[in-house]
Amino acid sequence: MVVLSSPFDFSELRHGVAMHFGRLALQSNLILAPMAGVTDRPFRTLCRRFGAGLAVCEMLSASTRLWATAKSQRRLDHEGESGPVSVQIVGADPAMMAGAARLSAERGADIIDINMGCPAKKVCKKAAGAALLRDEGLVARILEAVVGAVSVPVTLKIRTGWAPTQRNAERVARIAQDAGIQAIAVHGRTRACGFSGKAEYFTIRAVKKAVDIPVIANGDIDSPETARRVLEITGADGLMIGRAAQGRPWIFREIAYYLSSGRRAPEPPRAWVRDQLLEHLQSLIAFYGEYQGVRIARRHIGWYSKGLAGGTELRRQLNRATTPQQQRRLIEACFEQSGTEGGLAA
């Protein structure tokens, strides 16, 4: 059992349970899910610091001609990022996917992750993302092409199927294993479910029983207690956390502590949260520049301030703030008004 030596000190618990696939060893089996517009380099860096064993990059189109855009260039920017670097690609053409994987590996990707789980209409209407689950033959061709194109490990992210009446995650997982995929992450919803309703984990358990490669459970893992329950239900080798890390990147360390000790870690003091937020703001400005960084920071500040007295007013005023200095003053004033001791409200 791990005992914290101070009210909010995770130094004794640097990592969760190690996880291995291919030739890679992750120091923790807790993984940050790729989220478009969220998991940029500054956010990945924070989550890695707080215990994520892997932080998957925002997805890239397999059409490499689109990589010249400013948005794609930032998604391709891994400068100074601790490895392993996992680059996620999305597309429906085996040759294009193989080419994108090859180029990503040449640019320094340690892992290629294939997206067959995105439910967005703009992705699925191109027969990519979760839409691929309707064509298991094409799934096999894409996976074989990508695995054959690179020497780095290739992983796969899927949903449980296209619709509740069309769950085929077990078959897709077997196809993936046969193609040489090294690990598979399964979101406990179908494409038709979007993000509504509750994730179900029994299909993930069936996938775990169907294959020998590591299986990572994803969907609605928003607390240490839920993390333990999902591991117990699914028998999964790891957990992938997405929306619950927004505004709380230290959730990885909290989960690792709970799984290790059986006890909840203390809530972080508000002054500590303020300092993490201000550092995050600074890194966003440095990465994006002042104009875009201020605008991207708004959503992150909103997530951090949930449950904070004065948080609603802070978010309202943030929409009018146009400089990092204004944002910083608003943050400091809001936290000062709320006090610096004690955790955030639930």
Residue of 47, 57, 118, 334 with catalytic role: 118
Which is nearest to 299 in space by CA: 36, 27, 37?
A: 37
According to DSSP, the β-strands at 183-187 and 54-55 are: unpaired
> In degrees rounded to 5, what are phi and psi of residue 341?
-100, 160
Which is nearest to 238 in space by CA: 253, 209, 216?
A: 216
Q: Report the 10 Å Cβ neighbour count for 297.
A: 25
Active site (annotated) includes residue 118:
yes
Do residues 93 and 62 lie in contact, with contact meaning Cβ atoms separated by under 8 Å? yes
61/64 Cα distance (integer angstroms): 7
Which is nearest to 237 in space by CA: 33, 13, 18, 50?
A: 18
134/139 Cα distance (integer angstroms): 9
Residue 240 is encoded by which pair of tokens? 């992938």
Instruction: Output DSSP code: residue 196.
Output: -
Residue 82: CB partners within 8 Å, gap ≥ 6? 45, 48
According to DSSP, the β-strands at 19-21 and 154-159 are: unpaired
308/344 Cα distance (integer angstroms): 6
Residues with active-site annotation: 118
